[in-house]
Structure 1
Amino acid sequence: MADLPVLDGAGLRALAERSAAVTVACACNEAALAAWTSTPLSFPESQLEDVGTLYLDPYDEPGFAEYHPHGTRYDSADAPVALRHFPYNRCNIATCTVCGRCYLRYTEAGGYFVDRRIRALNRPELVSEASA
Structure 2
Amino acid sequence: MAQYLNAEMLVELARAAEARTIGPCACMKTPLDGWQSQPLSLDETQFEEIGTLLPQDYVEPTFSEYLPDKTSYWSADAPIAPRYFPYNRCAVWKCVLCGRLYLHYTEGGGYFVDRRIRAVKADLIEDVPLLP
- The two structures share one fold, judged by TM-score above 0.5: yes
Q: Which runs of 5+ in 2 are unaligned?
A: none
Deviation digits for residues 11-36 of structure 1 (CA, Å, limit 9, x no counterpart): 11122213323113211111100000
* Deviation (angstroms), 1:57: 2.6
TM-score by length of 1: 0.91
- Find the counterpart in structure 2 of residue 20 from structure 1: 18
TM-score by length of 2: 0.91
AA aligned to 1:16 is A
AA aligned to 2:100 is R
Q: What is the aligned-residue identity percentage?
A: 49
AA aligned to 1:28 is C
- Matched residues in 1 for 2:57 and 2:48: separation? 19
Q: Which runs of 4+ in 1 moved over 2 A?
A: 18-21
Task: Kindly report the root-mean-square deviation, in angstroms, between the aligned alpha carbons of the 2 structures.
Answer: 1.4
Matches within 5 A, 1:1-132: 3-21=1-19, 22-57=21-56, 60-121=59-120, 123-132=121-130
**1:18, 1:101 within 8 Å by CA — same for their partners in 2?**
no
Deviation digits for residues 41-99 of structure 1 (CA, Å, limit 9, x no counterpart): 11121111000101013871212110012221100000000011000000010001111
AA aligned to 1:9 is A
> Number of paired residues?
129
